[in-house]
Structure 1
Amino acid sequence: MFKILLIEDDTTLFQEIKDRLGQWSYDVYGIEDYERVMETFTDVQPELVIIDIQLPKFDGFHWCRMIREHSNVPIIFLSSRDHPTDMVMSMNLGADDFVQKPFHFDVLIAKIQAILRRVYNYSNDVNELKTWAGATIDLERNRVSNETGMIELTKNEMYILKLLIERKNKIVSREELINRLWDDQRFVSDNTLTVNINRLRKRLGELGLGDMIETKFGQGYVAKEQGSQ
């Protein structure tokens, strides 16, 4: 049974989500004290976090930052606001997906299942190190390192990098990445992939590798090897 921490202060919506997810055998925990969210996170040790943006005390962006300082657990944002910058900020902070209220429960459940299937299944057979562009890729620990230093990636970022370096110097289409990442592209916006790619490039840039992920406009992305054109 997967544990989900639902950070949602609307008690009616919280109970409805909890009941629906309970039907799928998910164990849902809530927040009693919104000044002690991190204490609850530490106590629960969830496999997935769902966060509303508008919360008492501090907003969801604050708690996403706090969680990302300690964990790469997958995060889904909920929001009743429809400004596109909310989704962009969520992804830049390390969220894995964004669901706008009101939403259909089938969509939320599909997103949850896709993320949990990807994050907790794909790593079972990749307890190995890969090399790419002079860097070591630790798939199990979500780490990339070279002589410059070491960075930790989110689950989404590492999975995108893994898909690209498996076919280095070859184009991987946006459609394939979306389908591999989220299983069903009907439930993901094209902008979500763009934000994840940009965030991955920014992190790789800390190791001098940002330009090794190349955009092929209208086609997809390429993970270049050093010395390739």
Structure 2
Amino acid sequence: MFKVMLIEDDMTLFQEVKDRLQQWSYQVYGVEDFSRVLQEFTEIRPDLVIIDIQLPKFDGFHWCRMIRAHSNVPIIFLSSRDHPTDMVMSMQLGADDFIQKPFHFEVLVAKIQATLRRVYNYNTERVELRTWRGATVEYVKNTVADEKGSVELTKNEMFILKMLIERKNQIVSREELIRSLWDNEHFVSDNTLTVNVNRLRKKLETLGLDAYIETKVGQGYMATEEAGSL
């Protein structure tokens, strides 16, 4: 049974979401003190966090940043704000998905299921690591390392990298990446994928690998074995 931490100060909405998620056999935890969100997160140790942007004391971006400093637990934002920069900010901070209020509960459940399946199931595959351009990519640990050092990726970043290096020197379309990451591209902004790829490249830059994730305009992305190949 998965544990979900719902960081939401609207108690009516919190109770409605909690009741509905419990029907799907999720254990749902709320926040008792909005100045101690990180401490309560540490005590609960949830499998997934759902967080609103507008909260008492500090906003959801603050708590996402604090959680990300300690954990790669999947995070989904809920927000009534519809400014594109909110979604971009949430992705840059390491969130896995963004849902705008008001939302259909079926969409929320679908995104929760897709996120949990992606994060906790794909690592059970027999292949746990790959070598790419001299670096060791460990799927289970979400790390990429070579003689220059090591970087830790979020679940989404590793999933993208995994899809690309499993098909090295082949173009993987944006549509396929979006469907694989979020199940249904109709619920996801195309910019969300761009943000995740840019964050992946920024981390790989430390190892000098960022140039080998190529953008194929109008098509998708490709991980290459030789700079400028294909």
One-letter code of the match for 1:161? L
Moved beyond 4 Å, runs of 4+: none
Deviation at 1:111, TM superposition (A): 0.4
Deviation at 1:161, TM superposition (A): 0.3
Give 1:82-97 correspondences, 5 Å limit. Answer: 82-97=82-97
Task: Look up the match of 1:58.
Answer: 58
Task: Look up the match of 2:155.
Answer: 155
Percent sequence identity is: 73
Secondary structure at the counterpart of residue 158 of structure 1: helix
- Provide TM-score, normalisation by structure 2: 0.97
Report whether the alignment pairs 1:36 with 2:33. no
Report whether the alignment pairs 1:216 with 2:220. no
Runs of 5+ consecutive residues of structure 2 not aligned to the other structure: none
C-alpha distance after superposition, 1:47-92 (max 9, x if no partner):
1000100111111001101111111000000111111000000000
Report whether the alignment pairs 1:123 with 2:123. yes
Q: Is the 8 A contact 2:7 2:30 kept in 1?
A: yes
In the alignment, the residues of structure 1 paired with residue 46 and residue 17 of structure 2 have an alpha-carbon distance, to the nearest angstrom, of 16
Task: Look up the match of 1:167.
Answer: 167
C-alpha distance after superposition, 1:193-215 (max 9, x if no partner):
11111111111112111111000
Task: Look up the match of 1:71.
Answer: 71
Secondary structure at the counterpart of residue 34 of structure 1: coil
One-letter code of the match for 1:154? T
Task: Look up the match of 2:7.
Answer: 7
In the alignment, the residues of structure 2 paired with residue 199 and residue 177 of structure 1 have an alpha-carbon distance, to the nearest angstrom, of 15
In the alignment, the residues of structure 1 paired with residue 180 and residue 148 of structure 2 have an alpha-carbon distance, to the nearest angstrom, of 31
Q: Is the 8 A contact 1:4 1:27 kept in 2?
A: yes
The 3 A distance-change label for structure 1 pair 68 and 127 is: farther
Secondary structure at the counterpart of residue 13 of structure 1: helix
In the alignment, the residues of structure 1 paired with residue 220 and residue 17 of structure 2 have an alpha-carbon distance, to the nearest angstrom, of 36
One-letter code of the match for 2:182? W
In the alignment, the residues of structure 1 paired with residue 227 and residue 75 of structure 2 have an alpha-carbon distance, to the nearest angstrom, of 37
Task: Look up the match of 1:134.
Answer: 134
Task: Look up the match of 2:145.
Answer: 145
Count, aligned residues = 229
C-alpha distance after superposition, 1:113-148 (max 9, x if no partner):
100111111001246221101111011000011111
C-alpha distance after superposition, 1:5-27 (max 9, x if no partner):
00000110100110111111111
Q: Is the 8 A contact 2:211 2:227 kept in 1?
A: no
In the alignment, the residues of structure 2 paired with residue 129 and residue 177 of structure 1 have an alpha-carbon distance, to the nearest angstrom, of 20
In the alignment, the residues of structure 1 paired with residue 206 and residue 18 of structure 2 have an alpha-carbon distance, to the nearest angstrom, of 40
Task: Look up the match of 1:19.
Answer: 19
Secondary structure at the counterpart of residue 191 of structure 1: helix
One-letter code of the match for 2:117? R
Q: Is the 8 A contact 1:3 1:48 kept in 2?
A: yes
In the alignment, the residues of structure 1 paired with residue 7 and residue 158 of structure 2 have an alpha-carbon distance, to the nearest angstrom, of 25
In the alignment, the residues of structure 1 paired with residue 21 and residue 124 of structure 2 have an alpha-carbon distance, to the nearest angstrom, of 25
Task: Look up the match of 1:203.
Answer: 203
- Provide TM-score, normalisation by structure 1: 0.97
Deviation at 1:227, TM superposition (A): 4.6
Runs of 5+ consecutive residues of structure 1 not aligned to the other structure: none
In the alignment, the residues of structure 2 paired with residue 126 and residue 90 of structure 1 have an alpha-carbon distance, to the nearest angstrom, of 32
Deviation at 1:35, TM superposition (A): 1.1
One-letter code of the match for 2:162? K
